[in-house]
């Protein structure tokens, strides 16, 4: 073999007569073809090839022999095409030259040293003229951000916390007594807070009212989980308890009907009620749970390790299937193709069940195939995150209690990810962008934190000072100068268009038609005739709810995976198939058509016009002032008054209302 290599290289030396360059020729080649198995994440044979300093000189000859071998059992890399003759020649020339590499080359850190996998420690608050810790971290130079106007701040905080604009009375009260802390506390105490922030969490846990796939059947009583989230947030349930209940609410020592409803989280995924390959479908369901657990609570893309060790993260197939083993005892209650709820204290609950305290064996599936079982694995957590595996409780007479063991580890203060992930989610919703932009990915391939010390300070404070209270975290953020600053080019706040639910709910509130009824089964919004005609399964189209039921808040709207309401879909409703860390904000023509010509907007414009007539009479000036205050929480400027009066000489009051509901200022927080 060595003779063949030598002859070959001589033949190709003319093509590299000008010399081989490590940075240009060798490092990219090793990164692409060798690092997946011999890099920072994975080191088969204890060999790393992702930095010149890590390649032992005594292995140079063997390295060259292995890449040039014609024996597929020894040739490297083992997968994909062999290196080309030109590539082998480059490696040979580099080794013959002494395998040089730049002295300044940075050696990639071990995955175990990744920032997100380190224990959460509380950094000291920087010395700063700012008393507020968030401002002290963000404005170390003592800069004082320009505050937004009081009117703009009021509308911003209302939309942020409750998803509705302030009423006229609330605007007047704030104008007389601008007590910011009182406003924040009052909003956090309102039931609308839970409705607003539950929608953010429902995005993360892939909530919908149906199963998807061809039949897309309704999930029985799934709305109880939605109501559980709303009530938990309104009650300021500690986040660590919130985690425990959703993963293992039935296995808790103090389990109740409520905690069993919480485990509906595990069953929210899409489900094929008539799969072509039942064994594979079974693992698809478990994969959905593991994927969602990883992204929602830990910020890890663990699902990528189903078929092979993760290519970019320190997560192995053994890690993945050890998590599958936690959920393998679960069984979906059903009768043939029909899902069934569990009945607990005469309450029908949408949740999985464990039929036995004896767990079935869980195998690593070779290449992820249900027909190729490999080694048996036991419940465990990703090795890179722990010095030693946590102990899993012994089974009781009802369940394996494996989920309780995992939930206790996730909710433990020593877990390096859980607190970081949730404080980043809250920050993202308040500022438009997280301290870590990839809210579901805190791994090596995710974005690094923009302010790592602030993130860790918040995470530590959240666990130890706030006792996992989300409301205390909201108060801390909303009382900072950073959040109350006026939007500028270099502002810490990145404004995004309001979500479709907040736009729809704001229209209902401004028009005076919002129905504040809470909880219970979802209402069925009207579907435009064009969407009905375009649907291939006419039988799946529901009869719309009557008023005032149809004017409830959007969090209570029926979300059918196979038939999303056009207004919701056009305005970027969350993906309901997998965890959605942040809504997309697209700008496409159908959005303008939906908001201006859509039946819902026209209906609200008519109702708003009637409200203006009832409350302002026939006085155009009073009507203009009222519509601006209702919709935009401010009085019109003099040029705006003149422009609107001119508009009303040719157009109706209803048309004016339709225009106002389409202003950028209405569909953006500010």
Token pair in block for residue 383 = 């090795």
pLDDT of residue 149: 94
Domain ranges of the chain: 2-108, 418-484, 500-570+587-670
Q: Is the pLDDT of residue 330 over 90?
A: yes
Which range (101-105, 134-138, 149-153, 323-327) has the least confidence?
Answer: 101-105
Could you report the per-residue pLDDT of 454-509, keeping only the tens digit for each? 999 999 999 999 999 999 999 999 999 999 998 876 677 788 999 999 999 999 99
Residue for token digits 């040739």? Answer: 75
Report percent pLDDT > 90 for the chain.
80
| HEC profile of 324-383 | HHHHCCCECCEECCEECCEEECCEEECCCECCCCCCCCEEEEHHHCCCCEEEEECCCCCH
pLDDT of residue 8: 34
Could you report the per-residue pLDDT of 34-79, keeping only the tens digit for each? 888 888 777 888 898 888 888 889 989 999 999 998 888 889 998 8
pLDDT of residue 490: 67
Report percent pLDDT > 70 for the chain.
97
Query: In this structure, are strands 338-339 and 342-344 parallel, antiparallel, or unpaired?
Result: unpaired
**3-class SS at 521?**
coil
Residue 574 backbone dihedrals phi, psi, to 5 degrees: -60, 150
Q: How many angstroms separate the Cα of 493 from the Cα of each of 188, 382, 499, 661?
A: 21, 35, 16, 24
pLDDT of residue 140: 86
pLDDT of residue 5: 34
Count of residues making up the chain: 670
- Are 427 and 435 in contact by the 8 Å Cβ rule? The answer is yes
Q: Is the pLDDT of residue 201 over 70?
A: yes
Dist. CA 302–CA 294, nearest whole Å = 6
pLDDT of residue 489: 65
Per-residue pLDDT band for 2 (boundaries 50, 70, 90) equals very low
Dist. CA 293–CA 348, nearest whole Å = 24
Measure CA 658 to chain center: 33
- Are 239 and 328 in contact by the 8 Å Cβ rule? The answer is no
**3-class SS at 536?**
coil
């Amino acid at each position: 073999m060595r003779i063949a290599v030598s002859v070959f290289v001589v033949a190709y030396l003319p093509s590299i007569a000008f010399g081989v360059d490590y940075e240009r020729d060798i490092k990219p080649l090793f990164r692409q073809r060798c690092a997946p198995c011999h890099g920072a994440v994975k080191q088969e044979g204890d060999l790393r090839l992702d930095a010149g300093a890590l390649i032992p000189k005594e292995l140079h000859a063997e390295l060259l022999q292995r890449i040039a071998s014609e024996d597929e059992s020894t040739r490297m890399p083992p997968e994909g095409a062999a290196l080309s003759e030109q590539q082998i020649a480059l490696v040979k020339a580099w080794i013959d030259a002494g395998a040089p590499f730049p002295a300044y080359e940075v050696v990639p850190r071990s995955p175990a040293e990744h920032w997100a996998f380190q224990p959460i420690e509380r950094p000291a608050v920087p010395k700063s003229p700012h008393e507020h810790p968030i401002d002290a971290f963000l404005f170390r130079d003592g800069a004082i951000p320009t505050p937004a106007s009081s009117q703009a701040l009021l509308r911003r905080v209302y939309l942020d916390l409750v998803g509705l604009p302030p009423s006229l009375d609330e605007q007047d009260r704030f104008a007389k007594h601008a007590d910011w802390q009182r406003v924040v506390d009052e909003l956090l105490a309102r039931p609308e807070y839970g409705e607003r922030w539950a929608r953010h969490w429902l995005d993360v846990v892939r909530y919908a009212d149906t199963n998807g796939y061809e039949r897309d059947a309704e999930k029985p009583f799934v709305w109880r989980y939605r109501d559980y989230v709303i009530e938990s947030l309104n009650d300021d349930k500690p986040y660590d308890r919130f985690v425990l209940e959703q993963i293992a609410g039935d296995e808790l020592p103090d389990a109740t009907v409520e905690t069993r409803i919480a485990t509906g989280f595990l069953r929210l995924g899409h489900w094929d009620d008539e799969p072509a390959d039942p064994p594979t479908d079974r693992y698809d369901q478990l994969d959905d749970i593991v994927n969602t657990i990883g992204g929602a609570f830990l910020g890890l893309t663990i699902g990528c390790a189903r078929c092979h060790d993760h290519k970019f993260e320190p997560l192995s197939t053994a890690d993945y299937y050890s998590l599958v083993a936690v959920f393998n005892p679960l069984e979906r209650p059903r009768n043939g193709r029909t899902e069934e709820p569990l009945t607990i204290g005469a309450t029908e609950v949408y949740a999985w069940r464990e039929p036995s305290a004896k767990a079935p064996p869980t195998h690593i599936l070779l290449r992820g195939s249900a027909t190729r079982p490999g080694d048996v694995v036991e419940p465990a957590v990703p090795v890179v995150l722990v010095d030693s595996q946590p102990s899993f409780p012994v089974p009781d007479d009802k369940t394996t209690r494996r989920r309780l063991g995992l939930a206790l580890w996730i909710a433990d203060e020593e877990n390096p990810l859980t607190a970081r992930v949730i404080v980043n989610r809250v920050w993202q919703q308040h500022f438009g962008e997280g301290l870590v932009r990839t809210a579901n990915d805190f791994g090596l391939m995710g974005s690094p934190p923009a302010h790592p010390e602030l993130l860790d300070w918040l995470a530590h404070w959240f666990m130890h000072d706030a006792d996992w209270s989300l409301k205390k975290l909201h108060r801390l953020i909303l009382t900072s100068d950073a959040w109350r600053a006026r939007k500028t080019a270099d502002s810490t706040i990145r404004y995004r268009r309001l979500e479709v639910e907040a736009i729809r709910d704001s229209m209902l509130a401004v028009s005076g038609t919002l129905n504040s009824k809470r909880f219970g089964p979802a209402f069925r919004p009207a579907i435009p005739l064009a969407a009905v005609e375009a649907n291939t399964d006419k039988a799946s189209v529901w009869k719309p709810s009557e008023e005032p039921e149809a004017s409830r808040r959007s969090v209570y709207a029926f979300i059918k995976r196979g038939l999303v309401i056009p207004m919701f879909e056009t305005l970027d409703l969350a993906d309901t198939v997998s965890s959605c860390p942040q809504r997309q904000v697209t700008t496409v023509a159908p959005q303008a058509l939906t908001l201006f010509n859509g039946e819902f907007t026209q209906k609200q414009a008519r109702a708003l016009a009637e409200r203006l007539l009832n409350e302002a009479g026939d006085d155009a000036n009073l009507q203009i002032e009222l519509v601006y205050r209702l919709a935009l929480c401010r009085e019109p400027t003099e040029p705006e008054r003149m422009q609107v009066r001119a508009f009303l000489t040719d157009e109706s009051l209803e048309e004016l209302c339709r225009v106002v509901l389409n202003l950028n200022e209405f569909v953006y927080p500010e």
